[in-house]
């Protein structure tokens, strides 16, 4: 069955084509087309994963382009890494399709939405299955296009249209770096194929400086796609899209593509200490930076957005400290509990008609299924055992401690504390206390709650996939057949410290927002500057607007004025002059032979004079 893995992305592509052709005729039934397609893809992904566990990498390619001695191929390959990714992407996409069936049931363009979902899923699966970095880049760009379409789905809202453009343009900055890195890789190794690239590196055909440059350029692509500082600014604004889009793109798939890219090219990164150091510190800065901003946000989706940026930072930090398996393990667990939290927030928004957590409260008794599953998601991301986030987070902390030193470990630990605090601030303000909203809240229907239950179950058990008492099965699966070295595991003291770190964030949140022993207003009033700084996101957006956007716009306006008044002016003057000269000469054509004779004689004299002068100078 594994040889038919190419069918996995074909099913969502087929759904896209069918909805483009017949979507207007079936309208709300478009959801079922997408659901059936993703059921087929998910089923095949599970079978492929099972077969890959007991087998080896399967690769099928055909010659696409040939020039000289170089041949570029296309096709697919199934490795341990992308077999895991296939299941994650198809499962989350399937659940998002189910959830969206009710969430957007009143939308006039529902068939368009599901066609976009199908195209996006196809693109992400194509990226995952790519057997070489060139094919990965092609699907990488298609994923970016689909993100633009989905974030801007409600294009009639100025905020959504602006967010879509911002996401598209910001990620293009990283994509330029990735493209240059891709070209340099081909120039110095002569191939786009992963195995050939790594073989050339191991044979010392590329000098150390160039390896570092290429690795950093590739990492720039990951920085854009995975919303790492300083290219993180697009992701929070992308929350203007429909909530299911956030669950799919901003939890399990597109934002994880940057982490996946670094993991695929990891043999290159480990050959450059400089590149790994940049990766580690970029992840650490992003993780802490985003976590602090999440402390003061009141929009439920933006809190989760900054949480996503922060968690992606932890994955990048793990990759920079040789935590290959830790990063991918957290990618998997994060996909489940963050998709759960985003869909849970969508259920809350659907029930109370607001995204402001100050308009919520008391929803535990009114939306019990949503509340319980959301609590499981919060416990998982905070790192409470035995939930999934506990197992993957402790692996990241262990790698930061062993390979990153005290500073990086302290940043990772502080990020974990803040994560527990802002997530339970969100939980207590949303589900406990008195209801503060204007609309009567109600629980969502089964098409929305069943995905929550499935994801909650995965958030409970997914951590056991790499549990120590089972001898780290995920690690053995991912490392089999690779050259990546042994991984670090948490010692007993680290496990207990991890629990203490989680509680250090949850308990203060409970006292302030649960029991309200301490008034949050008093804390805010005691630190007005810090609160303002965090609320305004360290003024990064304002910095970009004033330092980059406004000067570029002013330059564009200046060039436009120069083009209109100077360049066009010269062209217009030349045209008018030629017209006037032609008009003057035209008056000489009056039909009088004697006039023509005079002009001919004068012209002849002028030509002889010019010839004489030229000859004299020669």
Asked if the structure places residue 6 within a domain, the reply is no
Q: Which of 476, 511, 535 is the last residue of a domain?
A: 535
336, 317 contact by CB (below 8 A): no
Are 288 and 329 contained in the same domain? yes
Asked if the structure places residue 368 within a domain, the reply is yes
* Total count of domains within the chain: 2
pLDDT for 253: 83
pLDDT for 2: 86
Are 287 and 434 contained in the same domain? yes
Asked if the structure places residue 391 within a domain, the reply is yes
H/E segment holding residue 402? none
Look at residue 398 and give its three-state secondary structure.
Answer: helix
The CA distance from 132 to 264, in Å, is 10
Are 456 and 553 contained in the same domain? no
Q: What is the pLDDT of residues 367-405, one digit of tens each?
A: 999 999 999 999 999 999 999 999 999 999 999 999 999
The DSSP output letter for 251 is I
Query: What residues in the chain have per-residue pLDDT under 50?
Result: none
Asked if the structure places residue 229 within a domain, the reply is no
Are 363 and 495 contained in the same domain? yes
pLDDT for 393: 95
Are 426 and 563 contained in the same domain? no
Q: Which of 535, 558, 578 is the last residue of a domain?
A: 535
pLDDT for 585: 66
The CA distance from 246 to 351, in Å, is 18
Asked if the structure places residue 309 within a domain, the reply is yes
The CA distance from 404 to 391, in Å, is 19
Look at residue 405 and give its three-state secondary structure.
Answer: helix
The CA distance from 583 to 613, in Å, is 31
Are 321 and 391 contained in the same domain? yes
pLDDT for 590: 63
The parent domain of residue 364 ranges over: 272-535
* Residue 207, C-beta contacts closer than 8 angstroms, at least 6 positions apart: none
In terms of Cα–Cα distance, which of 118, 111, 110, 119 is closest to 141? 119
The predicted model scores a pTM of: 0.90
Asked if the structure places residue 17 within a domain, the reply is no
Asked if the structure places residue 260 within a domain, the reply is no
The CA distance from 523 to 68, in Å, is 69
Are 426 and 386 contained in the same domain? yes
Are 414 and 548 contained in the same domain? no
Are 502 and 562 contained in the same domain? no
Are 440 and 562 contained in the same domain? no
Asked if the structure places residue 558 within a domain, the reply is yes
The CA distance from 110 to 257, in Å, is 27
* Residue 80, C-beta contacts closer than 8 angstroms, at least 6 positions apart: 52, 57, 477, 478, 480, 481
Are 288 and 436 contained in the same domain? yes
Are 354 and 465 contained in the same domain? yes
């Amino acid at each position: 069955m594994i040889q038919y893995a190419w069918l996995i992305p074909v099913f969502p592509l087929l759904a896209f084509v069918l909805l483009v052709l017949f979507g207007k005729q079936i309208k709300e039934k478009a959801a079922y087309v997408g659901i059936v397609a993703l059921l087929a893809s998910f089923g095949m992904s599970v079978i492929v994963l099972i077969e890959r566990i007991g087998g080896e990498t399967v690769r099928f390619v055909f010659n696409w382009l040939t020039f000289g001695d170089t041949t570029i191929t296309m096709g697919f390959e199934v490795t341990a890494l992308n077999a895991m990714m296939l299941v994650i992407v198809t499962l989350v996409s399937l659940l998002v399709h189910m959830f969206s069936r009710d969430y957007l049931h009143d939308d006039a363009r529902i068939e368009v939405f599901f066609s976009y979902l199908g195209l996006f899923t196809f693109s992400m699966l194509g990226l995952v299955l790519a057997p070489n970095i060139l094919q990965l880049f092609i699907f990488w760009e298609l994923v970016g296009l689909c993100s633009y379409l989905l974030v801007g789905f409600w294009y009639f809202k100025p905020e959504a249209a602006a967010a879509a453009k911002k996401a598209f343009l910001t990620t293009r900055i990283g994509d330029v770096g990735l493209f240059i890195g891709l070209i340099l890789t081909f120039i110095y190794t002569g191939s786009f194929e992963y195995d050939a690239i790594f073989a050339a590196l191991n044979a010392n055909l590329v000098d150390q400086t160039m390896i570092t440059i290429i690795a950093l350029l590739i990492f720039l692509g990951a920085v854009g796609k995975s919303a790492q500082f300083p290219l993180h600014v697009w992701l929070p604004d992308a929350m203007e899209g429909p909530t299911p889009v956030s669950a799919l793109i901003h939890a399990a798939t597109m934002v994880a593509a940057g982490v996946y890219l670094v993991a695929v090219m990891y043999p290159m990164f480990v050959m450059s200490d400089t590149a790994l150091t940049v990766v580690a510190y970029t992840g650490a800065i992003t993780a802490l930076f985003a976590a602090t901003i999440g402390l003061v946000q009141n929009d439920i989706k933006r809190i989760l957005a900054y949480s996503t940026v922060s968690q992606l930072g932890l994955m990048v930090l793990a990759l920079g400290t040789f935590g290959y398996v830790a990063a991918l393990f957290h990618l998997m667990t994060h996909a489940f509990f963050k998709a759960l939290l985003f869909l849970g927030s969508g259920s809350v928004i659907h029930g109370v008609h607001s995204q402001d957590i100050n308009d919520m409260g008391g929803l535990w008794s009114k939306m019990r299924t949503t509340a319980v599953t959301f609590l499981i998601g919060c416990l998982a991301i905070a790192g409470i055992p035995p939930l999934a986030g506990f197992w993957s987070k402790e692996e990241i902390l262990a790698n930061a401690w062993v390979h990153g030193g005290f500073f990086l470990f302290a940043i990772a630990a502080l990020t974990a504390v803040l994560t527990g605090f802002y997530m339970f601030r969100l939980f207590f303000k949303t589900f406990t206390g008195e209801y503060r909203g204007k609309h009567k809240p109600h629980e969502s229907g089964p098409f929305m709650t069943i995905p929550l239950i499935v994801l909650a179950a995965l958030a409970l058990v997914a951590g056991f996939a790499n549990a120590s008492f089972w001898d780290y099965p995920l690690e053995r699966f991912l490392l089999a057949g690779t050259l990546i070295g042994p991984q670090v595991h948490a010692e007993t003291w680290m496990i207990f410290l991890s629990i203490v770190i989680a509680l250090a964030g949850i308990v203060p949140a409970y006292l302030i927002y649960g029991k309200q022993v301490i008034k949050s207003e008093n804390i805010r009033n005691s630190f007005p500057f810090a609160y303002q700084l965090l609320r305004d996101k360290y003024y990064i957006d304002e910095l970009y607007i004033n330092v980059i956007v406004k000067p570029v716009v002013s330059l564009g306006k200046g060039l436009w004025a120069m083009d209109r008044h100077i360049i066009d002016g010269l062209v217009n003057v030349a045209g008018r002059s030629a017209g006037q000269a032609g008009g003057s000469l035209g008056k000489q054509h009056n039909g009088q032979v004697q006039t023509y004779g005079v002009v001919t004689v004068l012209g002849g004299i002028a030509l002889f004079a010019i010839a004489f002068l030229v000859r004299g100078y020669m």
